[in-house]
Amino acid sequence: MQKLIGSAIATIFLAMPALADGFHTVDVEADFEDVVMDVEDAITNQGLVIDSISYVGQMLARTGEDLDAEKDLFTDARIFSFCSAALSREVMEEKLRNLQFCPYNIYVYQAAEDGAPVVVGYRESDEPTMRPVNYLLQQIVASATGTH
């Protein structure tokens, strides 16, 4: 009986989605540069300033030959980094260690496969005091992808 209960509990946990930090993505059937512009607009329309854009796709393409890479991973991939002074203060007043989550990032990529969609996403923190930031990231992605 104990084995049966243990097996049932294991089955339940395997069927549940991961509750730790999760990656939330939306697939978009559009031109990569158009989606990038939509993401930039969605961030700045929140009154935020983009601190930096990491051109990860270009870096991997540029260094691939030196690393003897046998395939391209992306047609393009970028990470937008930004912060909100108001939200950062709010979440850091709750827990100083929330500093580690700033700046916040939204990524956009398209896999180097024919017909691959453009993917827009963010990593959600499972830290309860970070819920306002998770909500902001969700709203930005929804606005940029038209899924709100």
Domains in the chain, number: 1
pLDDT at residue 117, as a whole number: 97
Question: Does residue 7 belong to any structural domain of this protein?
Answer: no
Residues 6+ apart with CB under 8 A from 8: none
Look at residues 33, 70, 34 and name the one whose alpha carbon lies nearest to residue 55.
33
pLDDT at residue 65, as a whole number: 86
* Parent domain of 139: 21-145
pLDDT at residue 21, as a whole number: 52
- Whole-model pTM? 0.82
pLDDT at residue 13, as a whole number: 37
CATH value at residue 86? 3.30.310.70
Look at residues 17, 35, 23, 22 and name the one whose alpha carbon lies nearest to residue 116.
35
Helix boundaries (H) for the chain:
2-15, 32-44, 56-64, 85-94, 131-145
Segment-wise mean pLDDT, segments of 10 residues, the chain, 148 residues = 46 37 90 98 97 96 90 96 96 96 97 95 95 96 92
pLDDT at residue 5, as a whole number: 46
Question: Does residue 111 belong to any structural domain of this protein?
Answer: yes
Question: Does residue 10 belong to any structural domain of this protein?
Answer: no
Question: Does residue 78 belong to any structural domain of this protein?
Answer: yes
